[in-house]
Amino acid sequence: MAELTQTSPSLCCCRKSLPVSGGRCVGDSTLPSAGPWPGAPPCPLVDVASASNFRCFQLRHFHLDLRLNFAAKEMTGWLVLDLVPVEPGISTLILDSHPSLLIHSIDCKIPGDEPEEPASLTYRVDPFTDYGSSLIISLPAGTVKPSRLIQITVRYTTTDGPAIWWLDSELTCGQSCPLVFTQGHSVCNRSFFPCFDTPAVKSTYTAAVRVPDGVTVLMSASRSSYSKLDRVFQFSMEFPVPSYLVALVAGELQHVDIGPRSVGHLDTPESSDFTVLKEILK
């Protein structure tokens, strides 16, 4: 019988193998995960493509609140993380980020605690790889305790990161409205919002997206609603997903029935591609 050997996981072109991972937590060397097969030596839970200390926290939920600016090709807003530390002595939160993200401020709030005003936190951005950086946040001493919920709010602006694609009107089928979409697989969503950019972490999320008049927004969420008065799209994903599966598209999209069992949102339903798709689905 051939001898079984443990090999390093295969990675895509942007998941480069690194000598040091940011996934370790204070004291976690005594908490290895099970081996890949019975009797194999235990190995730590490490993602070499993530600079974050995701093992130190449980991410229960996160919320995105964004405003899309097609003229400047920017998304501005904030991210709220609901985090629960898993062990004592945690003094920093490290998130995956990207040089294209402009961080404006970060604050922390303990729900139910006094004072109710959030505390401003200090942070720094360190280089990690050519596809991202690490956002290192100093947590307030004495307030971070195991099993105690904390809320971290990061206010930021996106620019020309690899996860966000802005198309001018001339590049769309209708040629009357610009379009933007995101592509987070496999390590690009750290340029969309700071996160634990690893498939080892899954959580639910909600989002509010403010857009100009005439723009429709879709996200990879299970529920959605729209306020015409405020031009705000609300989304909710009630099933835990990893960060790379959070996706957004916004433009002059129209709801169209493309078959007896299928519906879609298309840039221009009258295009020839749509006609071919309807024939395929018959």
Sheet of strand 102-109, all strands in order from the earlier edge strand to the far edge: 119-120, 102-109, 150-157, 74-85, 57-69, 203-210, 232-241, 223-227
Read off φ and ψ for residue 95, nearest 5 degrees.
Answer: -115, 150
Q: Would you call the peptide bond into 115 cis, given omega within 30 degrees of 0 as the criterion?
A: yes
**Predicted confidence (pLDDT) per residue in 160-218, tens digit:** 899 999 999 998 888 889 999 999 998 999 999 999 999 999 999 999 999 999 999 99
Tally Cβ neighbours within 10 Å of residue 23.
Answer: 24
What pLDDT was estimated at residue 175?
83
Question: Is 87 within the bounds of a domain?
Answer: yes
Question: Is 79 within the bounds of a domain?
Answer: yes
**Predicted confidence (pLDDT) per residue in 215-262, tens digit:** 999 999 999 999 999 999 999 999 999 999 999 999 998 877 666 665
**Residue-number span of the structural domain to which 130 is assigned:** 49-251
Question: Is 131 within the bounds of a domain?
Answer: yes
Question: Is 26 within the bounds of a domain?
Answer: no
**pLDDT > 60? residue 266:** no
Question: Is 274 within the bounds of a domain?
Answer: no
Q: Which of 187, 177, 185, 180 is nearest to 164 (CA)?
A: 180
What pLDDT was estimated at residue 13?
40
What pLDDT was estimated at residue 174?
80
Question: Is 273 within the bounds of a domain?
Answer: no
Cα separation of 94 and 32, whole Å? 20
**Amino acid at site 129:** T
Question: Is 12 within the bounds of a domain?
Answer: no
Radius of gyration, CA atoms only, the chain: 21
CB 73 within 8 A of CB 160: yes
Sign of the torsion angle spanned by Cα atoms 15, 203, 228, 72: negative
Kindly report the CATH number assigned to the domain that includes residue 95: 2.60.40.1730
Question: Is 29 within the bounds of a domain?
Answer: no
Sheet of strand 132-138, all strands in order from the earlier edge strand to the far edge: 92-97, 132-138, 123-129
Q: What total number of domains does the chain contain?
A: 1
CB 85 within 8 A of CB 93: no
What pLDDT was estimated at residue 255?
73
